[in-house]
A and B are shown apart, each in its own frame.
Chain A
Amino acid sequence: MLEVRNLGKTYRGGVRALDGIDLSIPPGMFGLLGPNGAGKSTLMRTLAAIQLPDSGSIRFDGIDVLADPVALRRRLGYLPQSFGAYPHASCRTMLRHMAILKGLPDDAQTASRIDQLLELTNLTAHADRPVTTFSGGMRQRWGIAQALLGDPALLILDEPTAGLDPEERMRLYNLLSQLSGERVVLLSTHIVDDIEQLCSAVAVVQGGKVVARGETARLVEELAGRVWESAEPVPARSPARHLSTAYRRGQPVHRCFAVSCPGAGFTPAVPSLEDRYFLELHGARPC
């Protein structure tokens, strides 16, 4: 539904933010993973048609996005990484304002849809407060509400859970899961667990390139039997690739990738998307 071909973007100073990105994203939730500076936000803005690439093409459901960005915007819901609000306008007023900007009629139906979105995002009780007075989570929910105005076919959400407490994060993901259906929901986040739980497909971006892509389950399954963990670090001369080190109840847990047991003390571990993510970041491919 969303086709990205050979997308390139280089900023002044030579920073190559997008380096020939190819993606094909079907309906449903699609996760975008990558470290800071990988080019995720540039990619999101470019897909939202508010930043021009240097090269490449984007098509969404038959729309040439670069040639006709307005056509895309009619079907787009976008939540940037950070945003503000007019200090004088209430939550409901801001939604009405954004609805008008999106081309929705200023009628009872839109007002009703706004009420539904307020209900959906649990903001009904705060509808008359200015958005600038909201907490971080409430503001993010308002951002989701505005993105959903006009029933968009493409939802682009850049770090939507930033600043949310676990409960709100959970509520937001439940909401997104309900909404995905026939639309494309493109989700960018640092939290790999979230992607693993929510997204049926995922792409890992690093240095402006897609270093891995595919169905989430398949990407994880490819690691089956090759992820090991131990309280001891990976031996120096071992062919195993260190993936991560974490502490569990105060004790270190080292995880690594190897086709066979890397040594004494290592036990097989259930692979996760996080393992795959670290593996891609460290430049290794599962064999």
Chain B
Amino acid sequence: MLTRAGWRSEWLVVRRHPLVWAAMVGAIAFLALAAANEAPRNQRELFEAVLRLNLFVPAFVLPVVAGALAPIVFLREVEHGLGELFAAYPQVPRAWLAVRLAVFSALLFATCAALQLVIAGMLTLDYPGHLAALAWLSAELAVWVQLPACLIWSSLLAWLSCARGKSGLVYFAAAFGWAAYLGLATLTGSPLIAGSLVAWQPLRTAMLLADPYAITALVNPPPLAGLPLSREVAMLLGRLGWLAVCLTLLRGIGQVPALNPAHDGATPRSARWSALSAVRQGQAGLLMLSLRWVLRDKFALLAIAGWTLLIFPEVFSGMRYAEPLAVLNPDSRDALNRVMWDLLPALGALVLLYAADRVSRMAGTARLAELVAATPYASWRLIAAQLACLWLVAAALLALTLLIVAAAQLAARSPVALREYLEQGAQALPGLLLAATLFVTLHAVLRSRLVANLAGLVLFVLGHSSVMIAMGLDHPLWKPLNLPLDAPDRVLGLGNNWDVLGGYGPFWVALCAGGLLLAVRLHHRGTLWRQATPVRALLHPLVAVAALLLAGGAWQGARIHQRLVADHALTSADERARRRADYELRYAEWEGRPQPQVAAVLTRVDFAADGRSVELRADLALINRTAAPIARILVGRNQTEVEGDVAIDGASAEARDPYTGQIVLRLARPMQPGDERVLHFAARIRQSGLSGTAGLMILRPQFATVPAFQILPVIGFQRELTLRDPARRGRLGLPPLNVAAPSQMGAATGLLADRQATFETVLSVPTGQSAIAPGELVRQWRSAGRDHFLFRTDRPIRNLPLFAAVPWPAQRWPAGSLTTEIYAPDPVGQDSANLLAMRDTLVWLDRDVAPYPGTTLRLIAAPETGPSGYAFPQGMLISDRRGFRARPAGDAGFDQAYRRAVHETAHQWFGHLLGYGLPQERAFLIESLAKYAELVMIERRYGTPAMQALVDWEADRLAHARLVPAEVTVPLIAAEDTEDMYSRATLAFACLRQRLGDKAIVGALHDLAEMTRQSGHPARSLDFVLALKRRGGMERAAIVDMLLFDQLAIETALQRSGCPVSS
């Protein structure tokens, strides 16, 4: 057998199996979709993308391919009843193993190679010059990552096949290995998993060596202390260790599956299994038989054990987690949220897919299908028993999950809230039941077991992955088995999920019920043959009922679609990009034309009683600050798609462009320089609740925020609303963006006044709620059963209004001569981190940099749907979970809640006083300077060790942010990547503080604010650099340049500046 003919013969057999090709094509399609989503903007991003996609292969693709193909290679004789025949052949186990292992490994590696070709081919289309370098990188990854991964999976599955001889166990092992690795990656801060953070440092250190795919060592820098290994040594040791594991597994194979007597399906079973006679017969008997068939499956125990091992640690270790270095006092909602909205629906559907196969194919597996089919037992009763059994399995899975979560809570001494369990359980159950129904329907209609399982798998992938979005089908109704339910938080609660169930539930129930009725008529009764001609099967009253149900589902789907359209929730990112491109192509010529500016905004905002909509009516006072008369005004849609009425007295619409949302208004009487006109705007904005909440626009009965700065119409051509990504601009036919980087900009010519306005706002909210708007609260009254609030600013402020309605009263605290107002679910004490941070920062910046442009700063506890912190003029939103409920973890050197509140407070200066007016100045003057404020405030409040802990944390974040280390970087003042704006800036300012001192930095900030106030022009980052050099002394100017202006890697800049890299 160990001959060329032997291998060739093996390959000839294997290649005839359609699943071999289906697995390869599926893997290639998956990677192609992932690669299509990558849009590298430069060489570094290109190499990062290639690396990331190459690491996707072992982490996401290989286990699935290996699991699918292993039974074909290792178990096909046993699976197809050839075991006995094959056992009679003169087989030498080692020769058998050599051939099968070689072919299986080659199949896996060929798949990896094909995927590498896809990656390289798709990503180098725009970068043909890097083909050779990418080929070399791919070859390195093939040797270090993919080849070992193929060997590991081959050895493991060969051993398992020979030891147990069951394809189900092989599938289970592959799925478990896949999920377990992704779980480990999630806990070790892998960049492959969105939102992954290091939960336990020792685990990550261990994974540097023990990662089977070497991904941890590849994407993390080696530790500075503790385990003195270079990346190469760690990877080499890890590979050798896994090679030893593989050899051990292979040595453990003593017999091929066909010769192993333990795999004989006719092995007598213990008589204890024959106690079925006690079971009641009839429909209940069939149900009980089906249940026993599922539960007596040896994988059921494994699945329960695996489920427990998966859920318990996830909940026990994760429910306290708020963010890095911060923990919660968890409640049942926190505990349940860890698993109920991602793990349970996704893995639960997989479990049900397996159980559906067991239940629906029970008679076939027991080779009783023909006997059962020949009985007069009605098809609907057979299907009903299968469905009932699977529903019970779904309910049991949910109950098991809830029990495990409760056990984890009890183990962690966290209080268990029964009501929360009941409510979340009730919301999660329908999705599982629908999945069960769909799988039973598929098995009832499709005669081929393989096809039915593949169809179920395809539906699962479509419903629980981003494949449909990648294919451009970004519609919730295109995601089967997936109800768009959100994890509840303390602010928004569980209410919206009931609305989602009320909307999507009838749709899926009608479709599933209709499908199920059709399945009753088309049921194959477990045989391989049709039981009735389609015409005869469909000429039945039941089909009319099914048609009615399907029509009802379609009607409900149309209603959902209409509501989503009304919510503007169906506009894809590509569509938005096309609109922006068209906007630029059609209206860029307006960029230089004289246009009026918004000087004042009078707004009336009515939040509806049901909390789902808001009426917005605004009068925008326009002023012509140019030297030329203006006869035509371009009024355009803002960032948020809103259908609103726009009018100017004495003006008529010359042109309307619904696609880009632009209107050209012609004034009957042109605006002369200094003239004012009023633009009237009215809109009703509604959120049905059927689309997930994201961003700042939230309309819920419990809580509402309306970012008017994204809604009110804009005047003239706005460069901020155009595309910036060069590759995307190129694809959409836009010319390169010829904008000078902040490090190369000339003096600013625009006026800050063009971006400022005064505000007067009347808000009406349901009784008992509080309203928030820019300015001071001038008056509050109640009429017509609603509470009204009048806010007014006493001077122009940045034109970035946001309105809110919240269920909590204001908690007011003084901060020097200023006032802070906090809106949060719990009372705020005077030692609260948020209050301390607001007070410290307000007093410091108000005194040392520039006066605060107002008298009150407001802080609102926000739900988890938006950013963790957001500052708008005279107010800010901070996540309730991270900002109000979290406290520092035991090993945290500083308080994240304090840091975040300082950061957002600092934006009142760095963002809303400096750092606007120039589209390209949107990083350094805003985010990086706020990081400087964090350093100063944390050190003053908690001491130097706390400040140093922040520096260390940011250094660690920076080290892990990039897959490919940067040798040359853009100057810090021009950098826009997140890790530059925050982490690199923190390190740079820590060094500047050390070498120049706070006095020089604060002095430079003061100079910048003063210069801005006097000139009325927007500030530039360069102005800050110049001011800092002046304040710091020219002898230290080189340090300023190295840290802020030069294109040096931060480590080099720190070393040359005489600062330690990290403690």
Interface residues of A (CB under 8 A from B): 45, 48-52, 67, 69-71, 73-74, 76, 78, 80, 82-90, 92-93, 96-103, 106, 128-130, 132-133, 143, 146
Contacts and interface: CB of A to CB of B under 8 A. Distances in A.
A103 B377 contact: yes
Contact of A100 (B277, B282, B296, B373): B282
B271 interface: yes
Given A67-B536, A73-B375, A86 B289 contact: yes
A146 B374 CA distance: 11
A96 B362 CA distance: 17
Given A86-B362, A99-B281, 18 more contacts: A48-B374, A50-B527, A67-B536, A69-B532, A73-B376, A83-B368, A85-B366, A86-B293, A90-B276, A93-B274, A100-B377, A101-B372, A101-B377, A103-B377, A106-B282, A128-B277, A143-B371, A146-B371
A70 B376 contact: yes
Contacts of B378: 70
Given A50-B370, A89-B276, A102 B292 contact: no
B1008 to A, nearest CB: 80
A84 B367 contact: yes
Contact of B277 (A76, A92, A143): A92
A106 B279 CA distance: 12
Given A88-B274, A93-B277, A100 B285 contact: yes
A97 B529 contact: no
B289, B374, B531, most chain A CB atoms within 10 A = B374
B525 interface: yes
15 contacts: A50-B370, A50-B373, A67-B536, A78-B370, A83-B370, A86-B289, A88-B296, A89-B273, A92-B277, A93-B277, A97-B281, A98-B375, A102-B377, A132-B269, A133-B269
Interface of B: 266, 268-269, 271, 273-274, 276-277, 279-282, 285-286, 289, 292-293, 296, 362, 366-368, 370-378, 525, 527, 529-533, 536
Given A93-B276, A101-B377, A130-B273, A52 B530 contact: yes
Contacts of A143: 371
Closest 4 CB pairs of A and B: A84-B367, A90-B274, A78-B374, A73-B376
A84 B371 CA distance: 9
B368 A84 contact: yes
A52 B535 CA distance: 13
B531 A103 contact: no
Given A86-B289, A88-B269, A90-B277, A80 B371 contact: yes
B376 A97 contact: no
Contacts of A128: 271, 274, 277
Contacts of A132: 266, 268-269
A49 B374 contact: yes
B368 A86 contact: yes
B371 A98 contact: yes
A49 B378 CA distance: 14
A96 B274 contact: no
Given A85-B366, A88-B276, A103-B376, A130 B271 contact: yes
Contacts of A48: 370, 374
Contacts of B280: 106
A248 B680 CA distance: 113
Given A52-B532, A101-B377, A87 B370 contact: no
Contact of B525 (A50, A76, A100, A129): A50
B285, B367, B370, most chain A CB atoms within 10 A = B370
B384 to A, nearest CB: 13
Contact of A84 (B273, B274, B282, B366): B366
Contacts of B531: 50, 52, 69
Contacts of B292: 88
Contacts of A100: 281-282, 285-286, 377
Given A89-B276, A90-B274, A45 B266 contact: no
Given A51-B527, A52-B530, A130 B269 contact: yes
A89 B281 CA distance: 13
A89 B293 CA distance: 10
What secondary structure prevails in chain B residues at the interface with A? Answer: loop
Nearest to A99: B281
Contacts of A88: 269, 273-274, 276, 292-293, 296
B985 to A, nearest CB: 67
A78 B377 CA distance: 14
B619 to A, nearest CB: 74
Nearest to A156: B374
A73, A88, A93, A99, most chain B CB atoms within 10 A = A88
A90 B292 CA distance: 14
A232 to B, nearest CB: 39
Contacts of B373: 50
A76 B289 CA distance: 24
Contacts of A90: 274, 276-277
A87 B269 CA distance: 7
B530 to A, nearest CB: 5
B274 A50 contact: no
Contacts of A101: 286, 372, 375-377
Contacts of B273: 87-89, 130
A96 B281 contact: yes
B978 to A, nearest CB: 58
A107 to B, nearest CB: 10
A87 B376 contact: no
Contacts of B268: 130, 132-133
A97 B525 CA distance: 16
Contacts of B289: 86, 89, 97
Nearest to A44: B370
Contacts of A92: 277
A93 B286 CA distance: 12
A221 to B, nearest CB: 36
Contacts of B367: 82-85
B296, B366, B367, B527, most chain A CB atoms within 10 A = B366
A178 to B, nearest CB: 22
Contact of B370 (A80, A85, A129): A80
Contacts of A78: 370-371, 374
A78 B367 CA distance: 14
A52 B529 contact: yes
B273, B296, B530, most chain A CB atoms within 10 A = B273
Contacts of A45: 370, 529
Contacts of A70: 376, 378
A125 B266 CA distance: 20
A83 B366 CA distance: 8
A100 B362 CA distance: 17
Contact of A74 (B282, B370, B376, B533): B376
A102 B376 contact: yes
Contacts of B532: 52, 69
Nearest to B283: A100
A90 B282 CA distance: 17
Contact of B529 (A50, A80, A129): A50
Nearest to A79: B371
Given A50-B529, A73-B375, A129 B274 contact: yes
A96 B277 contact: yes
A196 to B, nearest CB: 28
Contacts of B281: 96-97, 99-100, 106
A70 B282 CA distance: 18
A245 B403 CA distance: 74
A158 B61 CA distance: 46
A103 B532 CA distance: 21
A129 B531 CA distance: 33
Contacts of A98: 371, 375
Contacts of B529: 45, 50-52
A146 B277 CA distance: 16
Contacts of B285: 97, 100, 106
Nearest to B529: A51
Contacts of B362: 86
Given A50-B527, A89-B276, A76 B368 contact: no
